[in-house]
Amino acid sequence: MKNDNIFAAIRAAFPASADAVAIESGDNGATYSWHDIDTITAQFANLLTSLKLPAGSRVAVQTEKSVEALLLYLAVLRAGYVYLPLNNAYQAGEIAYFIENAEPAVFVCTSKTRSWIEPIAIRCKVAHCFTLDDGSGTLLDAARSHSTEHVVAQKSAQDLAAILYTSGTTGRSKGAMLSHSNLLSNARTLLDYWGWSASDVLIHALPIFHVHGLFVASHCALLAGAKMIWFAKFEPQAVVNRLPDATVFMGVPTLYVRLLAEASLTKAQCRNMRLFIAGSAPLLIETFNAFRERTGHTILERYGMSETVMLTSNPYRAEDGERRGGTVGFALPGVGVRVRNDAAAECAIDEIGGIEVTGPNVFSGYWQMPEKTKEEFTSDGWFKTGDVGKRDARGYFTIVGRSKDLIISGGYNVYPAEIEGYINDLPGVAESAVIGVPHPDFGEAVVAVVVAKAGNAVDADAMIASIKANIANFKVPKRLFVVSELPRNAMGKVQKNVLREEHKSLFAESSKRVAQR
Ligand code: MLC
Ligand code: AMP
């Protein structure tokens, strides 16, 4: 019987030489063969199976990045459960929300975070809590006694493989439900479109709790039978040092900005590279040009989302066209992408409208939020991305903005309404507006503008410290201004565009410093 479990496809793609290195740690040189991937995921999967979890159970994971953490992801697929990755910057309030919403049966944290996560997990009736650190932890201890043989769980194409929480357009985070076939169909498309082969070597320096690092990067390498050089954290100099041993690199634009700040990034250093891919946030044309000038490589920019995995890509092969900076390329083979205006009519060439998508890659809906799911799909079943853009006569898409109030900082999404909620709850605050302004390193930086209640004095630094104690660090405003009132239009709506204009040069000085480096 055909098994649509994506792990079955990954396992089938393992090279015949099982002892070849599949993953090498860029941090300490430790190596993992294809055989190791098979046996360690089998042990993890057997451990999960022994817990006798109900079908479809979620396994929530908030750990540091490590090879074992990737193997845990693969093992959850292998055992047929649903993987739920969480950004390791999330703090207690954020974690409590995800646990309450997703009701995982298993939570894997680190030995450092266990003291505060376990009480939340127990309160929320999570049946099993384990720790996983780099090469140690209760999960590894428990898995060691299990067999290294495991039959990959039978799954159908539509069965859930993962839930990725994303802010979306309104309200609190929503869990985008991705099936085995959403993930596999997209990975197979990318494998072909980007010309992957077993002789590739990927430098993997992205976090593995988002689409980019977890699915796009890892799936391509694994399904190609290609080796990965695995970095727990992105350190630009360490990456530059390993470029001669690699052929492919993937990063959010901030990673490219930081690579360019390294004088050691040269054409010679990139001599064996065949492809640099960027995505998750807009790649500035200045970065695109500077990278080409310095390395001789034209970055391939692509566009995707948690709900859809990858949607569009600039071409890899010259015969498919040139890679055009400032665009996100063509709709991927098999993916329908259209642009529609406010009258729900398809836009003309170069006319700006809302980007909508359909295809085997598009998620089935938000976890236990049928109403929200309905709102995000058109009556004819296309998913509304919330991105605003256009298509040119040759079929290249360009993203020009977002209809959703969202800030993308260093590739992480920050939802202003969530931050405003925290700020408005602080003592003495009447109201606030959170905006994104240009930032030379992060692309956009989070900035807050706050109005105090009459008769109250509020302190910007104290407020920032208080926010920092409660939410993930990347969401914390880099600057906070206290003002007497917020600009409003005739309807009384806060004019965030006015605030963005007012603060657009806030980080221009640091921009000059980056340029001078
Ligand atoms: C870290 N900091 C950030 C930040 N990352 N601030 C704003 N935005 C960010 N993205 C801040 C921390 O709050 C901290 O501040 C300080 O920087 C140091 O933290 P760090 O963790 O040591 O930072 P660093 O390692 O330098 O991380 C920067 C980064 C990281 C760019 C390497 O943000 C990153 O890995 N980004 C990639 C995100 C990603 O993979 N996105 C894919 C989404 S998938 P303080 O004040 O506390 O010291 C998707 C779909 C698609 O969008 O199409 O791919
Ligand atoms: P996420 O919800 O984290 O998956 O983020 C998805 C969002 O990232 C998309 O809706 C876009 O707004 C943005 N995004 C992804 N890739 C690109 C890109 N190449 N250029 C501009 N924005 C992008």
Pick from 292, 301, 318: nearest CA to 398: 301
Say whether pLDDT at 167 is over 90.
Answer: no
Q: Which of 356, 386, 402 is the last residue of a domain?
A: 402
Shared domain for 426 and 388, answered yes or no, is no
The predicted pLDDT at position 406 comes to 93
Q: Which of 134, 158, 187 is the last residue of a domain?
A: 187
In a domain, 137, yes or no: yes
Shared domain for 170 and 38, answered yes or no, is yes
Per-residue pLDDT band at 511 (split at 50, 70, 90): low
Per DSSP, what are the bridge partners of residue 128?
106
CATH number at residue 115: 3.40.50.12780
Rounded-to-integer distance, Cα 81 and Cα 7, Å: 11
Rounded-to-integer distance, Cα 503 and Cα 437, Å: 7
Place of tokens 């836009």: 347
Probe target for ligand 1 pocket from 206, 387, 474, with the most ligand atoms within 8 Å of CB: 474
In a domain, 455, yes or no: yes
Residues with CB under 6 A from ligand 2: 166, 211, 279-282, 301, 303-306, 328, 385-387, 399, 402, 408, 413
Residues 6 or more apart whose Cβ sits within 8 Å of residue 14: 22, 34, 37, 38, 225
Rounded-to-integer distance, Cα 363 and Cα 377, Å: 11
Q: Give the Å distance between the CA of 408 and the centre of ligand 1.
A: 10
In a domain, 318, yes or no: no
Q: For the segment 183-210, what is each residue's pLDDT rounded down to a tens digit?
A: 999 999 999 999 999 999 999 999 999 9
Q: For the segment 418-463, what is each residue's pLDDT rounded down to a tens digit?
A: 999 999 999 999 999 999 999 999 999 999 999 999 999 899 999 9
Q: Which of 135, 152, 187 is the last residue of a domain?
A: 187
Is 389 touching ligand 1 by the criterion CB < 6 Å? no
Atom of ligand 2 nearest to the CA of 166: 2
Residue closest by Cα to atom 6 of ligand 2 = 305
The predicted pLDDT at position 1 comes to 85
Q: Give the Å distance between the CA of 411 and the centre of ligand 2.
A: 8
Pick from 222, 200, 227: nearest CA to 78: 222
The predicted pLDDT at position 171 comes to 61
Structural domain of residue 372, as residue ranges?
A: 335-402
Is 213 touching ligand 1 by the criterion CB < 6 Å? yes
* Percent of the chain's residues with pLDDT above 90: 96
Per-residue pLDDT band at 514 (split at 50, 70, 90): very low
Q: Give the Å distance between the CA of 9 and the centre of ligand 1.
A: 31
Rounded-to-integer distance, Cα 362 and Cα 456, Å: 49
Shared domain for 133 and 167, answered yes or no, is yes
Cα 373–191–401 angle (5° rounding)?
A: 45
Shared domain for 154 and 104, answered yes or no, is yes
Pick from 219, 203, 229, 232: nearest CA to 110: 232
Rounded-to-integer distance, Cα 261 and Cα 237, Å: 9
Probe target for ligand 2 pocket from 215, 305, 444, with the most ligand atoms within 8 Å of CB: 305
Rounded-to-integer distance, Cα 308 and Cα 211, Å: 9
Atom of ligand 1 nearest to the CA of 216: 54
Rounded-to-integer distance, Cα 170 and Cα 417, Å: 8
Q: The tokens of 315 are what?
A: 């071409």
Say whether pLDDT at 259 is over 70.
Answer: yes
Shared domain for 447 and 357, answered yes or no, is no
Pick from 131, 103, 105: nearest CA to 117: 131
Q: How many C-beta atoms lie closer than 10 Å to residue 472's C-beta? A: 17
In a domain, 147, yes or no: yes
Q: The tokens of 512 are what?
A: 């000059």
In a domain, 464, yes or no: yes
Shared domain for 41 and 177, answered yes or no, is yes
Residues 6 or more apart whose Cβ sits within 8 Å of residue 60: 84, 86, 98, 99, 102, 104, 106, 107, 108, 126
Place of tokens 């199976």: 49
In a domain, 222, yes or no: no
Shared domain for 51 and 145, answered yes or no, is yes
CATH number at residue 345: 2.30.38.10
In a domain, 199, yes or no: no
Shared domain for 444 and 389, answered yes or no, is no
CATH number at residue 443: 3.30.300.30
The total number of structural domains in the chain stands at 3
Atom of ligand 2 nearest to the CA of 211: 4
Q: Are 283 and 324 in contact (CB under 8 A)?
A: no
Residues 6 or more apart whose Cβ sits within 8 Å of residue 173: 97, 98, 101, 165, 166, 167, 415
Shared domain for 381 and 415, answered yes or no, is no
pTM of structure: 0.97
Residue closest by Cα to atom 12 of ligand 2 = 387
Is 207 touching ligand 1 by the criterion CB < 6 Å? yes
Atom of ligand 1 nearest to the CA of 254: 31
Shared domain for 391 and 493, answered yes or no, is no
In a domain, 50, yes or no: yes
Judge residue 366's burial from the number of C-beta atoms within 10 Å of its C-beta, 0-12 exposed, 13-18 middle, 19 or more buried: buried
Shared domain for 396 and 410, answered yes or no, is no
Shared domain for 465 and 482, answered yes or no, is yes
Length of the chain: 517
